[in-house]
Chains A and B, each alone.
Chain A
Amino acid sequence: MVAPATAFILVFSLVPVVYGLGISFTEYNPLHRGLPEWVGLRNYADLFTQPQFGKALGVTGLFVLMVLPATVVLATALALLVDRPFRGVGAVRAALYIPNIVSLTAVSMVWLWIYSQHGLLNELLGLAGLPAQDLLHDESTALAAAAAMRVWKALGSNMVLILAGLQSIPRELYEAARVDGAGPWQRFRYVTVPGLRPILVFVVAMDIIYLAQSFAEIYVLTQGGPLGSTTTVNYLIYTSAFQYNQFGSSSAMAFVLFAFIAGFSLVSVRGILGRQR
C-alpha cells in the first residue's frame, strides 16, 4: 500500500538529491559539450571565500525572521476571530485565504504597483501629510517591503491551518477551565496555546521551508537589489545557474541552503512526530 508513494518519492525526490549532490562536486556548464569535470569539494570551498554567498544566507535568514513571527502571530489572531461561526464566516475565511491562491508573480506585480512612486502607499502617506517613500530602492527598507508582501501572502494559509488547530481542541477543555474559574486570558494561556502547539510547530516548519526559498517576489520586486540587500540564496542560485551557466557551484549553494532548511525545520517536524509515540 505504501509502495506507490514510496517508490515515487524515491525516484522523484531522493534520486535527484543524490544526482544533484554529484553535480555539486563538478564543474558543469550546460552549454559545454564535454562531460562535467570532477572538482571534488572545490565548489563548496569557493562558497566560503565568496562574500556574496554568506551575505545571501544572511539576507535569507533575515527575511525568514521578518516574515515568520509576524505572520504566525497575525494568523493566530485572525484564526481566533473567525473560529466561532457567524453568518458569512465561510466567505470571510475564503476572503482571508485568497492571497494564498493567487500566483506569487501576479501578486508581486500588484505590490510593485502599491510601492511605486504614485502608488497606494505613497497616496496614503500623502493623505497623512508624510513624505513619499521609495521603499524598494532603499537598501535599508527593500527587504522589509518584500517581507511585508509575503506576510500578507502567507497569512491566509497559516490562518486556515491554525483555525484547524483551534477546532481540534475539545470544547470540554474550555468548559472545564471555565468551571475552574479561568478567565478569557487564562483559558487562552492554558487551553488554547497548548492545544495549538502541534499545529504551530507544523506551521513554523512549513513556513521556514517555503520562506527560505524565496525567489519570485524578489525577482519581480527588486531583482536582488539595492546593493544586494534582497539577494536571497535562491535568487543567487538562479542567476549563477541560468545566467552564468554554473550548474556545479549553484548546486553546491542549493545543498548548503538545504542543510540550513533541514536543520531548522527538522527540529520542529520531529516535535510533531515525537509527540505521537
Chain B
Amino acid sequence: MTARTIDGGRRMAAATRIALIAVAAILVLVPFAWMASIAFTPAEQAFGSISLIPDNPTTANFEAALTQIDLLRALGNSLVVALVCVAANCLVAPLAGYAFARLKFPGSGVVLLVIVATTAIPVSVTLIPLFLMAKTFPLAGGNDLFGSGGTGLLDTLAVVTIPHLVGAMNVFLSRQYFAGMGSELAEAARLDGAGEWRIYWRVYLPLARPLIAVVAIFSFTGTWDDFLWPLVTTTSQEHYTVQLALVQFNATGNVQYGPLMAGAILITLPVLAVFLLNQRSFISGLAEGGTKG
C-alpha cells in the first residue's frame, strides 16, 4: 500500500463516517422536526397535515400553551422542585459516594450493594406505600404527631420533591468516580494533617466537577420528567408540575396537538439548556463514574 491510497482510504472513511452521522442525526431528529412543525401549524389544519413546513406558520399554539393553562406557574413549580433536588443530590450523593470509595467501614460493601439494588425497585412497588406515608407524615397538613387527622404532605410541592432528593444511582456513580481517582491525594493531604471532611471538601470535591455535572443532569431530568407521582399526590392546579400542566392538552377525545407540542417544546428547553451547558463534563463524568473502579 502506498501512502497515497492510505490517505485516500482515510478520507473515504472520514467521509463515510460523516455521512453516517448525518443520516443518524436526521433519523433521530425527524420526529422533532415533526413536533416543531405541529407546534407552528394552525389548529384547524394540524392533524394529518403532512407538510413539514406549515403553510401558514403561527405562534398561536405557543400563546395557547402559555395562556390556556398556567404553564408559567407550572414551570416555576418544576424549576423549584428540580433545583432543590439537584442541590440535595449534589450535596449528599457525592459525599456518600466518597465515603463508600475511600473509607472502608464494617458492612460498607453490603450497604452499598443494598443502595444499588434499590435502583431496581419498580415505581409500582413504592407508589402506594409512599403515597400513604406522605398522607400520614407527622405534623404536616393538619396531622398530629402520629400522622393522623390531616392530609400530611399531600398536595404540596414538598411531596413532589422528597422522593427525588437522593438518587441511589447518583450515590453509586459517585462511588465509582471517587474510586477511580485513587487514594494518593488523600494520603498526601492526610500527611499534612487534614481530616476526612477537609480532604473531601478541599481536595476531592473540587476535582469532581464532571461528576457533579452527571449528578445534576440525572437528578434534574428525573425530577422534571416525573409524571405519575405528582399526578396522584397533587390535586390543586397551583401545585401542578410541567408534565401535569401539559397533559391538560392531551384530553380524552379532545387532543389539542398544536398547544401540546408547543408546550412540550417549551418545557424541553430548560432541560436541553442544562444538558448543553454541561455536555462535556457530563460525558467525562460518566466516563469516570460508570466504567472505572
The answer to whether A and B touch in the complex, with CB atoms under 8 Å apart, is yes
Known: A20-B125, A118-B48. A93 touches B279 (CB 8 A): yes
A-B contact pairs, 26 of them (CB 8 A): A1-B197, A4-B96, A8-B92, A9-B118, A13-B168, A14-B114, A17-B121, A78-B24, A94-B276, A104-B227, A106-B260, A110-B35, A118-B50, A160-B286, A164-B286, A165-B290, A168-B287, A234-B122, A251-B128, A254-B122, A261-B120, A262-B117, A262-B120, A269-B117, A273-B112, A273-B113
Question: Of residues 17 to 46 in B, which have CB atoms within 8 Å of A's CB atoms?
Answer: 17-18, 20-21, 24-25, 28-32, 34-35, 38
Question: Of residues 224 to 277 in A, which have CB atoms within 8 Å of B's CB atoms?
Answer: 233-234, 237-238, 241, 247, 250-251, 253-255, 257-258, 261-262, 265-266, 269, 272-273, 275-276
Q: B111's contact among A2, A107, A118, by CB below 8 Å, is which?
A: A2
CB distance from B208 to the nearest CB of A (A): 14
* Bound CA–CA A113/B129 (angstroms): 36
Question: What's the A-B contact tally at a CB cutoff of 8 Å?
Answer: 256
CB distance from B147 to the nearest CB of A (A): 13
Considering residues B113, B118, B121, B166, which has the most beta carbons from chain A within 10 angstroms of its beta carbon? B121
**Complex contact B133–A101 (CB within 8 A):** no
Known: A97-B275, A110-B261, A269-B116. A164 touches B122 (CB 8 A): no
* Residues in chain B near residue A69, CB distance under 8 A: none
Q: B264's contact among A14, A102, A155, A202, by CB below 8 Å, is which?
A: A102
**Complex contact A257–B267 (CB within 8 A):** no
For residue B70, CB closer than 8 A to chain A, the reply is no
Task: Write out, one digit per residue, whether chain A residues 14-52 have a CB within 8 A of any chain B CB (1) or not (0).
Answer: 111101100100000000000000000000000000000
**Complex contact A90–B268 (CB within 8 A):** no
* Bound CA–CA A81/B48 (angstroms): 35
* Bound CA–CA A85/B50 (angstroms): 36
* Residues in chain B near residue A14, CB distance under 8 A: 114, 118
Residue tally, chain B, CB below 8 Å to A: 93
* Residues in chain A near residue B163, CB distance under 8 A: 12
* Bound CA–CA A199/B196 (angstroms): 30
CB distance from B283 to the nearest CB of A (A): 5
Pick out which of these stretches binds chain B: A138-146, A173-181, A185-193, A209-217: A209-217
Closest to A111 in B: B31
What is the interface of chain B mostly: helix, strand, loop, or mixed?
helix
**Complex contact A5–B93 (CB within 8 A):** yes
**Complex contact B129–A15 (CB within 8 A):** yes
Question: A residues touching B (Cβ–Cβ < 8 Å)?
Answer: 1-2, 4-6, 8-9, 12-17, 19-20, 23, 78, 81-82, 86, 90, 92-107, 109-111, 113-114, 116-120, 123, 152, 155-156, 160-161, 163-165, 167-168, 198-199, 202, 206, 209, 212-213, 215-216, 220, 233-234, 237-238, 241, 247, 250-251, 253-255, 257-258, 261-262, 265-266, 269, 272-273, 275-276
**Complex contact A2–B286 (CB within 8 A):** no
Task: Write out, one digit per residue, whether chain B residues 269-293 have a CB within 8 A of any chain A CB (1) or not (0).
Answer: 0011001100110111111101111
Closest to B38 in A: A113
* Residues in chain A near residue B50, CB distance under 8 A: 118, 120, 123
Q: B128's contact among A20, A202, A275, by CB below 8 Å, is which?
A: A20
